[in-house]
Structure 1
Amino acid sequence: MKKILLLLPLLGGIPAAHGQVIDRTTDVLMMANELTAIKSYVGVTSILSVRHIDKWVCPYFDEEAAYLNAIAQGALRSPEGETKLLDFIERYPHSAYRPYAQMRLGEWYFVQGNYRSAAYWFKQYDPFLLPDEMAQASDYYLSFSLMRDGREEQALGHFRPLIGTKTFGRDATFYSGYILSRLGRTDEAVALLDDVSHDGEYGAYACAYMASGLLAKGRYSEAMEKVRVGERQDIRDTEVRLSLLRSGGLAASALSQREVAISYLQDYMRLAPKAGRLEMITLGKELFDAGRYEESVESLAKASEERHPDFMGQLALYYEGLGQLALNHPMKAHIAFDRAAELDVYPRLTETARFNAALALYSNNPGKMNEGTDRLADYLVHYPQGEYAAQAVDHLKDAYLNDPDVDKALASIERITPLPAPLRRTLEKVRLRSANTQLDKGNTSSASRQYDNIIRNNADPASVAEAHLWKGEVAYREGRYGDAIASTQSYLKVRPQDTPVNPNAYYNLGYAYYNLSRWREAEESFREFLRVRPDATADEQTVIYSRLADIEVFGRNYSRALSLYDTAIQKGGNEADYAYFKRGMTYGYLKEYRTKADYLALLSSKYPSSKYVPEALYEQGRALSLLNDERSAQGVFQRVFEQYPNTDIAPKAGVQLALSYFNMQKLDEAARIYEMVARKYPKTDEAKAAMEDLKGISIELNRVDEYAALAREIGLGSAVSASEMDSLAYLAAEKIVGEGKASRSIEALDKYVAAHPDGVFVKKALYTKALVHYQNKAYREATLTLEQLLPDLVGDAELERDAYKVLTAAYVDWGRPDKAAELYLAQALKTKSLTDRSVFVSKAVDNALASSSEDFILSMADDIARDRISINEKVKSRVYGEALHILARSNRKQEALIYADRILMLGDHGQHARAGVVKALELYDRGQNTQARNAAQKVIDMGTTDTYWLARAFVLLADTYIKEGDKVSAKTYLEGVKSNYNNKTDGIINMINERLSKIQN
């Protein structure tokens, strides 16, 4: 019986508590609370998902928002409802809302029918933390969940305290009684269920349970009383009515109230989808006793369908057979007797049932071979000295001598051992046709042995000839076509002239030659068949003309084949649909694809039940594809794929359909169809082809992981190695990068790295990601990625070099020349090439100057001077020159002189002017005025593009003149430099002004 389920309103109905007043976000929470109170949960989720809310003023509001969102998702039965509630419970273990959330989660599982999980969550909190109404509802849900989860004793313990409550009292009373009834505690169950036996909602159910329990205890009068009370209720549940009818019928039968029992049980049978054996047997017994035999037989027949192996079942079947005999239904009687005999519980009853079953069958057509004679023969085998043996022999003899179906007669006789003497005389008369019977049954080896015996022993020429003919048939069926030809030709040779030729001889010869590809001999035999059998049936003519047409196709005489197929179609036999299909295919051999497509399109309407319809549609689609009519081809392939899924042609059609979508660049559709082919037909060659094509599409659509999952799902996981999947996934990501869309590129590369953290291409993927960031001027992201990647690139010189290149470029473009300088120096220290090292050092100097990293330059110059860094002379001269420049301007004269000497030891690469000026200054400081002037003049005469040091040379020249008192010459030089010098910040103008001031004073 269906258990009624009264659900209180779930996942809503209890408004959320309001928090303290907050800033402008308070409006959102207030509105969410109001929407929750009116159960507008879609509104709650919408308002709480608004992006422009900055943040909650305090964590409490975040907690309240999370709670409101969680219960709203749960109330909507959203897939996120469970996750939201679980997340809230985990995030806020000390929240005052936690018991509410746990109850909501229990309710969520309750509504889903997951009662075990529901019970678990209803147990996770103290119901006293909830309002009384919610606490009682919680206890009720817990009780109901335990009951539905099969923990009835626990459920009973929780239901009972609710019996006295206002809201759940009658529910708890009913379910407590129901559980007690199931536990066999009938008196306790009746005591509780009686209290709700007149309840408008539970009354009928309660009476049904009480009546069923009392009936099981044998308390039939009390059971009838409860049935009467239940009948007075408004019964809407069919299962409740069925239970009451069953209990009333069985109880009335036990109380010998026959008509009452019949009434109840017949009503029960009419309503019950499947009645029990006890009810049907009881009804049959009562009807039989009442003389209502047809109804009795009907009920007993239903009761015996399941063949329960006990005496009661055997007896029911036996009396059902007797009833059928009484009603003059011998065929139905034998079925009942057979079933009674099969149970074989009571031996004597079994023997009588066997004989009666055989006699009932034989009586339908006495004197002829039928199932009755087989049964009589079986009876003699099992009971050779049986009570009814003599009667069985008389019936069998009569049938064997009069029925023309001697094969059955011989088979029947051969089963009888020992064979009674009266039956032995009929044996030899039926052997020849018995062999044919064996052949018809497919027992070719048995038939062959009998044919050989006939050929060796039978003196009748016609029988010998027929034996040769049918030996040829046996050989044909076994695929021995050469032997079939030899035996059939023997038949034609030994056949008596006064005996008409059997047309099957030429029919068999034709097929034997046909299967050996001896086309002309096959054609001659088929045409001879038509000659000797002018009254051939439509089926035979259709088959012969189809074979003649096939032979012309094999000879590539397509026009003749079309004509013969047409003749076969006109004959209208069973194989006409084959001829029609092959005629359409022949148009294809002639490359008349439009005609082929149009012709095959009609096969399904002309022969709707033909097995060739799916293949014809498939070939129609192929023809349309060859005509480049892809849209029409798609429709045909789709029809085959969807309407004929269990045919061998369906996966082929699916592959063609997907291929057509692929050719139209509809990759999503192509992928969908390929996936369907692989899933529905995983063991086929088409599935392998689909997976191979899907591999390329997966790369195009960046769905390599989905492809791998599908391969595992259909059992091809071992065919796709981890390394191949790694490669495919990277190719998919790389393709998206090639499209030039930065955000999609980054997403694809991140997806690859996440899915294949140990993949071969992880380093390259990260490098490419950084490159994409760089190309899109996201310098910070590019540098972060490469800084993390570089330590892992040791050993991969090419990728390491490229990473350094992009990283330095990113720092330069980002305005961080100091970091660029460090990276260039790091590359210089790594490379083994003097040329590359010199270039890196030069670029390091450029970026160090750009960032005013003087200490960096001095440190690098010192390393070079100490031979820690080997570079070419030009770059070395430049580094020394920059170091000299820094030291000289910092008034570190002695250190500057050291670098001046180092520069002058090298060839002039543009730094000799600096060194010359520093050396001249040193002479001036020593008081060697003339030598200092000459040295300065030498620098000026030599010329240089270094304006600063050229200006220093002129200023030094002026100093030498000042020292000698030649202020005019000094002034001339100073004013000349000042008028042409543009840099106002490097100190030169200050030097000049200082000296001019002294001269004028």
Structure 2
Amino acid sequence: MIFSFLAWGQASDRYKGEYANFYRGEELYEKAQYGAAREVFSEFTKSFQDVQDPMYVKARYYEGMAALELFNGDAIKLLMEFNNEYPESIYKNTIFFKIGENYYQSKKYKDAKEWLDKTDPKELDTAQLATYHFKLGYANFQLEDYASARNEFYEIKDGKSNYSDPALYYYSHIAYKNKAYQEALDGFLKLQNNSAFQKEVGYYIVQIYYLMGNYKKVAELAPEYTNNDNGIEKNTAEMNLLIGDAYYRVQKYDEAVAYLEDYNKRKETTRDQDYALAYSYLKSKQYDNAVKLFNRVTKENDALTQAAYYHIAQAYIEKEELNYARAAFKSASDVDFDIKIQEDALYNYAVLSYKVDYNPYNESIKAFELYLAKFPNSDKTENIYNYMVNVYSSTKNYEEALKSLDRIPNKNIKLKTAYQIVSFNMGIEKYERGDYTKCIEILKGVNKYDVNPMITAKAKFWSADANYMLKSWSAAINGYRDFLLVPGMNDLQLKENAYYNIAYAYFMQKDWVQAIQAFRTYTQLSNIKDKARLGDAYTRLGDCYFTKDDPDFQKSAMNYENALSYDGIQKDEVLYSLSKVYRLMPAKREAQITTLEKLLKDYPKSNFVIPALFDIASGYKNEGKYTDALINFNKIIQDYPSNILVKDALIEIADIKFKQKNYQESESYFRRVLKEFALDDVTCKRVTKGIVDIYRATRQQDKIVALGKEFPCAEISSDDEEIFFYETANELYVNEKYNEAITEINKYLKNFPDGRFAIQLTSYLADIYYQRDDQEEAVLYYSKIIEKPNSPYTEEALIRSSKILFNNEQYDQALPYYEKLIKLTSNSQVIYNTQLGLMRCYYLLEDYTKAADYASKVLENELLKDKELQEISNYIAGVSYFKSDQLQKSLSYLRWTADKISNERGMEALYLLAEANYLLKDYVNAEKLHNELMNRKPMDAVWMGRSFILQAKVFMAVDDLFQAEQTINIVIEKYPNSDDGIKEEAQSVKEEILQLKETPKDVEDNINRMIDMNDEDNE
């Protein structure tokens, strides 16, 4: 009781003395009534005089601290003045600390750091010390002084204060930034149950496991966090990326797809991220998606692009689209960022090139060679040699194949066999392209490795056949005979061809005796399949027996008769030839007429109809059957008024009338001949002689003299000037004294420009220049003949002029001559040749409609036997129909040409066939035809380039941009020429493809994940 009383008494005294206001202020300060406290302290300090008094000093301290608590603008000034006036004060450290806290609360971290750095932590109590370390650490953190911040957080992160967990969070965050992932992970794991940090630390934990490469842990934890409401934010793009990539790295590709796919749709992705999703697609058997996304990776020239191409190839293999797989393997093998990938890709590219038989640049063999050069110690070497043998055996790029084989030392039996086969095939290719001299030279290489005697034997045959085509008849015969002497040769067709061609070689040399023996040998062969050729052989036997020095008409007729039993030959010609033989056999005169009548009945459109009619009429005349003879001669005149035999028919009728003593009519017919026809000397003499005979028979001698004056060819007057000039010129021409003949012919033409023999001598003059190959002069004189009425020389003039003009590429001038000739002639061979000329002229003059029309006529002509002309005619028909926009009609001709011809025309035809299908929108056939063109050997660069461009357009038409780009890259990278416009066209197409491939994506902003810490969050 005494103590309590004394204490109360002392307290009461505090408020009565000189320190009363101090105590009242202190009481208010302790009750946090800072405004009132400051006023009381201010009154006290103003009224108290002893500035060194402890109470005064403490009052000044309280006044400043109250102002600081009130955030008064002069608070820091008051406290700084206090420290300056009382530098040894016990409150100095507390003031530093409180000013630092004040700046911290105002987020003035630089000032906060300055004052907290002045604070001596040793003078702070436990609670203040935790606050001090955190706020100084956080200020340093905000000022990006992470090392200092880390040190401060370290002091309290493992304590029990309210600042321990935040300090641990930021400490772990700094460790994360410094890539001290285990240290960061340890800290974040301690905070994962703290609701304030749960969402954020979950994200960090997953990310750290990811960065540490513990993808299995990420795959385990990430779904747990994303499915937990207290965990990290659900389904963020970043989280899906981590989960998807973790699944990808632990090879759980099915699970990876959904997460990576979501990120890919929502964010702008890197090539590595596209690669991961593409690879997951591949492993999840989503091959189309894999190809599209891998294709996005191939924008740079690096190892990632190489791997992407390799996986594109794998996807196409799974889809069994080997051509596309091959292209992708090629791209992967072109770079060496990853040698193992390059090796395997190069091997697979070469093997696929072989398997799909698709090597337009001979990539297969080149790839095998490159592989052996790059990887000589590979365990696949033996396999490659086996493939190379197969390629050599099937390739048509024979020259390169031989070069390749020559580069291989110590060839085994398979490679030697391949060498023999390639040499043989190259020789045959030269043969088919008409380079017969080169064919003979190359076929000699078959003997270098005589592994297969049958191939050697066939080389003998084709070498002989090449000589045959070169008209080296003796060499051809010897070659065929060498072939036939080879034992064991079982190719019956080649043997048959050899016998037949031996016979024809003798025939072409006019060695009738040897030809007869050879043709007979051929006809006695068994099992001849080509019956038309057998019929032709009998026909030539008939020709030989008829033409030889001692003709055997009986055997000639027998062979012609045998020929008629076979189809496929020109039976009208054989019948006509047989009739000529019968005419010379007295016992067969009646058979001659019968044979000719059969020709007229069975072949009414034959070119031999008119000659047959004439021969029938002549036969009746010779037998004295004048009525029948006149009927047939008149038929020629009436039905074929333009034919050259009309003149002869008129003469024969005149002669019959004379024999019938109908002299007036006879003279009328003879006069008609003289009037209507420009006659040669022989015919003129014959006609005038006939008239002379009439005048003699009718005793009109006075008319003979007049006839002689009218027609000097009658030689009535020996001193006739024109006859003199004519006979001189004619004799010189006949005796081949051409220089003098030219002079004398020109003298005649000068004196008698319209003379009876002007056309004949003009023809002689043209012929001389023609034989001298003075083509310009020859055409000049032939044109003079052509301008005159039709004569015996008109047809030859037209034939030769059109030929010269055509050969000189004067197609527009040759064309009218061909057109006139086709109307004039009745000769089947001339008709055929003229059709050819018209076809070619119209084609070369780009009149494709008419060119196509005449090409069709040529193809329908029975005389079209020559293989090369068949090829040209089909080619012109196809191209002309195509260029005249008759696409449907062009298809069959282009198809025939592509199938039959292996040279450039065949490649052009196949290309146009593909383009026609493309224009007709038949894209499937267009692609098939492109692939067929790529298999052509040897390949022409121009058509290959155009075909690849067309193929790219086909892919564009069906919206397959990947294949379109791959295809167009072949042209850009491989096409050998840079000045023909093909590369420019290809680049233009590629730019169009790249524009189509661009697809803009929507992206979302990154989320700021930093926590803003202040006192209110933690106190």
TM-score w.r.t. the length of structure 1 is 0.27
TM-score w.r.t. the length of structure 2 is 0.27
Answer with 1 or 2: which has the greater Rg. Answer: 2
